[in-house]
Amino acid sequence: MTTSHEALFIDGGWAPPSSAAMIEVRNASTGEHVAAVPEGAEADIDAAVAAARRAFDDPAGWSSWPAPERAAALERLAAELEKRSQEIGRLVSIQNGMPIALSPIIEGLTPVGTLRYMASLLASAPVEEETSRFLGGDLVIRHEPIGVIAGIVPWNYPQTLSSFKYAPALAAGNTIVLKPSPETVLDSYVFAEAVIAADLPPGVINIVPGGREVGAYLVQHPDVDKVAFTGSTAAGRQIAEICGRLLRPVSLELGGKSAAIILDDADLDLAAIGQNLFSATLVNNGQTCYASTRILAPRSRYAEVVDTFAAFASSLPVGDALDPATLIGPLVAERQRDRVEGYIAKGLSDGARLVAGGGRPAGLDQGWFVEPTVFADVDNKSVIAQEEIFGPVLSIISYTDEDDAIRIANESDYGLGGSVWTPDLDRARRVARRVRTGTVGINGYLPDPAGPWGGVKSSGLGRELGPGAIAAYQNLKTLYA
């Protein structure tokens, strides 16, 4: 009998893989082998898409369920995930290095809240709206599910970012094939067990882990009706090209290089702002697309800002991701550590001043650790200020006045997140409105299911979450009377 970790989750159960290829899972804190699980191949994608298509096309199936029944199913799935939040968090921490102090909350409970928010939206989501024709007479506008959704998610927040796709897609009546990243696959087995326990119909959710080739095959599969992708800007551009050629709807949440605008009246007392500062800049070891990694500091307080951030970074406990005291864990893989160290070297060679970190922490010879690193005297046009590093590296850039700060914040190819720091809420909102980005936090940064999520420029297309999340997975059909 095939057991779950020897199989793929397709059509509501555990299916043997079509290939002998395996994904090796390694502990990011130690580099040690943890497990090996099947890697999906094209035939597995075919089977998963076919199962999703059957479930969608069934006249009595998921897409035809009344909204209250779908909402109840989402609530059941939320409850099952909540029971498993600690285990999901533990597995994510092992795989990508997210500190265990955070992972059961971020990875274990964010999907629970997202599902419950989407279930609440179904209470008021219209199926048909009757209205008047502009030229006289009546018409009906129908909100119909799109069909089979391809959800492709990265390794940094595997369960959270999956839920941003499947929760609204399922609420709208679609079915989905999820492709987790090969770096984080063990948590997807726990998610599949929750799907089974929640008694969702077979084929509504299917999971096939794999690399880029498998993802590319899924994106262009003829029976996929929409693609929802989170990942790098480079990969997003390739997916956009494919979907453009196929005239296939696509949403893309991509990279970021967000600015934290420290205004001249900001409170810099770490005892007061340290937790919010951490959440906005270095959460998940800097492996966060929205992180405010460009720190914009007024010249009048520049030295004070530099000292504050140097002290802040140096105070963060670095260690094994499973240690509850750890706030900065390892990076996801050796290649990611090499990438981050390359950027640190580039910052030094370009003349930036290193004021904290810059190396590997003492006593942590195993695993893929990098010290929290802060550069001062950074030119906003430099490589470390313009390219997404995806590690615990911050760059402090000076500005003259408010207009100059906004100009610098907007001088980026990206526009996903950002933050403004001041006790004056009206001033913060005035500044935030002028920053070209999809989201802005004030004196911190904490996404919420009720807020539309996504970016502008090279940070992507479309929005997830928010009151319009379900509509993003629906087609409109007009009936003329």
Q: How far is CA 146 from CA 60, 169, 477, in A?
A: 17, 9, 11
Length in residues, the chain? 481
| Dihedral Cα 416, 421, 427, 429, nearest 10 deg | 30
Respond yes or no: is residue 289 known to be catalytic. yes
Q: In what order do the strands lie in the sheet with 258-262?
A: 353-356, 373-376, 393-399, 292-298, 258-262, 419-421, 441-442
Cα–Cα distance, 390 to 461 (Å, whole number):
20
Cα–Cα distance, 207 to 180 (Å, whole number):
7
Cα–Cα distance, 453 to 464 (Å, whole number):
5
Catalytic residue among 289, 341, 388, 464: 289
Beta bridge partners of 138: 132
Cα–Cα distance, 151 to 147 (Å, whole number):
13
Cα–Cα distance, 481 to 478 (Å, whole number):
10
Cα–Cα distance, 413 to 360 (Å, whole number):
30
Catalytic residue among 183, 253, 388, 464: 253
- 3-state class percentages of the chain: helix first, strand second, coil last, to nearest 5: 40, 20, 40
List of long-range contacts for 402-406, beta carbons under 8 Å, 24+ apart: 402/263, 402/431, 405/261, 405/263, 405/296, 405/298, 405/431, 406/261, 406/431, 406/434, 406/435
Cα–Cα distance, 21 to 402 (Å, whole number):
55
Phi/psi of residue 296, each to 5°?
-95, 115
Look up residue 113 and give its two tokens.
């809240």
Strands (E), 136-221: 138-145, 148-152, 175-179, 205-207
Cα–Cα distance, 185 to 251 (Å, whole number):
23
Of 238, 236, 273, which Cα lies nearest the Cα of 459? Answer: 236
Q: In what order do the strands lie in the sheet with 205-207?
A: 13-15, 8-10, 205-207, 175-179, 148-152, 226-230, 250-253, 460-461
Cα–Cα distance, 308 to 303 (Å, whole number):
9
Q: Which residues are catalytic?
A: 253, 289
